[in-house]
Chain A
Amino acid sequence: MSTILIRGAKVLGGEARDVLIEGETVAAVGTGLAAEGARVVEADGLILLPGLVDLHTHLREPGREDSETVLTGTRAAAAGGYTAVHAMANTFPVADTAGVVEQVWRLGREYGYCDVQPVGAVTVGLEGKKLAELGAMADSAAQVRVFSDDGKCVDDAVIMRRALEYVKAFGGVVAQHAQEPRLTEGAQMNEGTVSGELGLTGWPAVAEESIIARDVLLAAHVGSRVHICHLSTAGSVEIVRWAKSKGWDVTAEVTPHHLLLTDELVRSYNPVYKVNPPLRTEADVLALREALADGTIDCVATDHAPHPHEDKDCEWSAAAMGMVGLETALSVVQHTMVDTGLLDWAGVADRMSARPAAIGRLAGHGRPIAEGEPANLVLLDPAYRGVVNPAGFASRSRNTPYEGRELPGRVTATFLRGHATVMDGKLT
């Protein structure tokens, strides 16, 4: 059994404490701890948080191993401080059967960099027509609890209603990609002043908000819970805030890029800024930050979407939508939420670990840093300043919008059940 002593880390950003890890478990938290033969990690000035949990990751395996695999994606996750990621269902074949979800889940366990919790498709083939075997996926070894057709909206109101009702039987949740399809045909970017000038087909905020409004009402009607993926507009925040005020079981996530970037960047026509939902306006960004701070938005989810170089090295309308995010998420959250005074580190632990784990019903993650708890931890240096260089990514893809941008913070160590997946800032 390995023993690790983290010395002098600010637990959740508070007072410096020593944390002793024995085997897979936190054995003690205190001051002046000592342990014979322990590996000592000096953590003076560093912050210790529970290992991060991502509700929204695209690992691309099976089917698009040219952009990411479970191995490269979980290494990227570990490098970014994550100990668990939810792998989205839009693979080839689609994760709509127990067989596919178990395969993805097993690969994650085998590689050991990060727990991989598969998300099951809501409908067969993500086609929005026929419910997938949600129960079989829930009962499989992967114990799927989050179901999503992400990339596509479950736009049929009856299918959405049935899915919301059906998953109640096993504590599941439907994570909706809110995008009214008719209002977004051919959409290339946020619909607003910039799209009008650039002559790019607009993706209006109302296409997101109208689906969210419908779905919170449906969830309330059938007494189920609904989770809103990558919420991106100020109007969506207002709807979720209203739904929560009614006491309905509605949760929502925001991506790091929607906390920082705006549609003004599209003026470059550089497809690295092409993402779905699209980058919105400054007013939206500020509303999202405020909503994350006050808890209206429950968590940060990366929507890590790797794409091969050629899918971005082209004209805007031909380019794929999406950005990688696992290795920059914590830095962007520090930059937009912590350094701005909107959220403290305990808040970051809540929004990036505890709440996403709770939404995903994921045992062993998002736990307090206390004796007897599983040693899923991340140690980070908030004083670090560095320029993002995608050449150093563990992800197989490089489609980051932050290349060349200076961002704060750096993960120095990640522990998955006591095993260091990252040490001294490097993958082990």
Chain B
Amino acid sequence: MKRHLISAADLTRDDALLVLDTAEEMARVADRPIKKLPTLRGRTVVNLFFEDSTRTRISFEAAAKRLSADVINFSAKGSSVSKGESLKDTALTLEAMGADAVVVRHHASGAPQRLATSGWINASVVNAGDGTHEHPTQALLDAFTMRRHLSGVGRDLAGRRVTIVGDILHSRVARSNVLLLNTLGAEVTLVAPPTLLPIGVEQWPCQVGYDLDAVLAKSDAVMMLRVQRERMNAAFFPTEREYSRRYGLDGGRMAVLPEHAIVMHPGPMNRGMEITAEVADSPRCTAVEQVANGVSTRMAVLYLLLGGSEPALATARAEEPRPEEPRADDARPDDVPTEAARTEESK
């Protein structure tokens, strides 16, 4: 594997399977009464969040703590005037503090790549979501979830048909998923109103359509993306009601899915918009399971990036969990941030 995880395209098929298999080992730890491994003891993982995202941050925090790493949470929301300076200066500060890995969430597409390639820091960089670019650990946890339901542990997703529905244009989850699912052999179809598809999407390694009903019966998994209500103010679609009529997943549409098919959502869900409560609360919806899988997957990523050349559990021994350790159930991954989240002040 490469030293950084910036894009799902950084992962070969073997890399991706290694992460997923390692994540399965990590998941087993989560089933123990004591959920801790000494693997990254003495290493420092910094969660550098320029954008509010409690879900993703605590998921990474739980992952790092279960590996016994020291975790520093750095909420560094820059002022709008000096965003650039704060990225570089913050990086230099982290370097001075001896960070081994920096998990970065940033509102600007490409910011993690800048961190990784600018020469400002030596630490491994993990992209925890950058602008409307990528969110590779979300794609990994989604693949992990799909594998468990659709193909089995240890295998790829060859031939599995995955439909991703919603705001593809602004979704870093969609971009990472298309790349990773393609690497793993799945057949991806994107469904969205034409206004919410990027120019050039026909070059992506997937099918594209505008009609949700046309693809449901042929889907092994349907991934519903969060659609921000504010988008309709920029004329991406006329009204919420029209959006949910054409692109929302309700009980009727769910009934058209094959028996084995699952419904996924990266969270947080807009109930009544892209997904109805009936679907969200049905046993076919894996949203909560995805959250739990997120911790295992992020453990695997941190472990492999920080030099885990030995099997993850070879030296494993249980330790007392720290009292402040959050439960995995509290952590939920998320998709594109709201505009409001970008401007709110954090402490």
A and B physically associate:
yes
Query: Which of the residues A193, A313, A314, A317 comes within 8 Å of B109, measured between beta carbons?
Result: A317
Give bound CA distance, A353 to B85, whole Å.
Answer: 40
Asked if A314 meets B88 with Cβ closer than 8 Å, knowing A199-B131, A199-B132, the reply is yes
**Shortest Cβ distance from B240 into chain A, in angstroms?**
23
Enumerate A154-206 residues with CB–CB distance to B below 8 Å.
188, 191-202, 204
Cβ of A315 under 8 Å from chain B: yes
User: What's the least CB distance linking A238 to chain B, in Å?
Assistant: 20
Residue of B nearest to A319 (CB): B84
Bound-complex Cα distance A314 to B87 (A): 7
Within 8 A of B (CB), among A276-322: 310-311, 313-319
B131 → chain A closest CB, angstroms = 5
Contacts of A317 in B (CB 8 A): 83, 107-110, 131
Q: Which A residues are in CB contact (< 8 Å) with B200? A: 192-197
Shortest CB distance B138–A (Å): 14
Do A199 and B133 contact each other (CB < 8 Å), given the known contacts A193-B203, A315-B106, A316-B110?
yes
Chain B interface residue count, CB cutoff 8 Å, equals 28
Q: Given A193-B203, A204-B199, A269-B113 in contact, is the A313-B175 Cβ separation under 8 Å?
A: no
**Does A245 touch B at the CB level, under 8 Å?**
no
Find out whether the CB atom of B84 lies under 8 angstroms from the CB atom of A199.
no
B109→A318 contact, CB < 8 A: no
In the bound assembly, the distance between CA atoms of A311 and B81 in angstroms comes to: 11
Q: In the assembled complex, which residues on chain A have CB atoms less than 8 Å from the CB atom of B118?
A: 313
Cα distance, A201 to B110, chains bound together (Å):
12
Q: Across the two chains, which residue of chain B brings its CB closest to A202? A: B199
On whether the beta carbons of B84 and A198 are closer than 8 Å, the reply is no
Chain B neighbourhood of A191, CB < 8 A: 199
> Complex formed: what's the CA distance from A270 to B117 in Å?
9
A199 touches B130 (CB 8 A): yes
- A318: chain B residues at CB < 8 Å are 83-84, 87, 108
Instruction: Indicate whether B220 reaches chain A with its CB closer than 8 angstroms.
Output: no
Listed residue (A191, A192, A193, A310) with the most chain B CB atoms within 10 angstroms of its CB: A193
Docked Cα-Cα span, A318 to B82, in Å, equals 8
Answer yes or no: B65 CB below 8 A from chain A CBs. no
Instruction: Give the CA-CA distance A192 to B198 in the complex, in Å.
Output: 8
A314: shortest Cβ distance to chain B, in Å?
A: 2
In the complex with contacts A199-B134, A199-B172, A269-B113, A315-B87 CB distance below 8 A: yes
Report chain A residues within 8 Å CB of B111.
269, 315-316
Residues of A within 8 A of B172 (CB): 199
* List of B residues within 8 angstroms of A270 by Cβ: 114, 117
Q: How far is the CB of A46 from chain B (nearest CB, A)?
A: 40
Complexed CA–CA distance, A311 and B87 (Å): 12
- CB-based nearest B residue for A192: B200
For B198, what are the chain A residues with a Cβ–Cβ distance below 8 Å?
Answer: 195-196, 202
List the B side residues contacting A188 at CB < 8 Å: 109
Residues of B within 8 A of A199 (CB): 109, 130-134, 172, 175
| Chain A residues within an 8 Å CB radius of B108 | 315-318
B204 partner residues in chain A, CB cutoff 8 A: 196-197
In chain B, positions 83-140 with a C-beta closer than 8 Å to chain A are 83-85, 87-88, 106-111, 113-114, 117-118, 130-134
* Residues in B neighbouring A194, C-beta threshold 8 A: 200
Residues of B with C-beta under 8 A to A198 = 109-110, 133
Contact A313 B84 (CB under 8 A): yes
Q: Which of A201, A268, A311 contacts B117 (CB 8 A)?
A: A268
Hey, which chain B residues are within 8 Å of A313, CB to CB? 84, 88, 118
Q: How far is the CB of B52 from chain A (nearest CB, A)?
A: 18
Q: Separation in Å of the B201 CB from the closest CB of chain A?
A: 6
Cβ–Cβ contact A315 & B199, under 8 A: no
The distance in angstroms between the C-alpha atoms of A198 and B134, with both chains bound, is 8
A295 to B244, CA, bound (A): 53
CA distance A193 to B205 in the complex (A): 12
Kindly list 11 other residue pairs between chains A and B, CB separation below 8 angstroms, not including A201-B132, A310-B84, A319-B84: A192-B200, A194-B200, A197-B204, A199-B133, A199-B172, A200-B110, A200-B132, A204-B199, A313-B118, A314-B88, A317-B107
Binding site for A on B (CB under 8 A): 83-85, 87-88, 106-111, 113-114, 117-118, 130-134, 172, 175, 198-201, 203-204
Q: Could you list which residues of chain A lie within 8 angstroms of chain B, going by C-beta atoms?
A: 188, 191-202, 204, 268-270, 310-311, 313-319
CB-CB nearest 9 A-B residue pairs: A314-B84, A269-B110, A196-B198, A199-B133, A193-B200, A199-B132, A318-B84, A196-B200, A199-B109
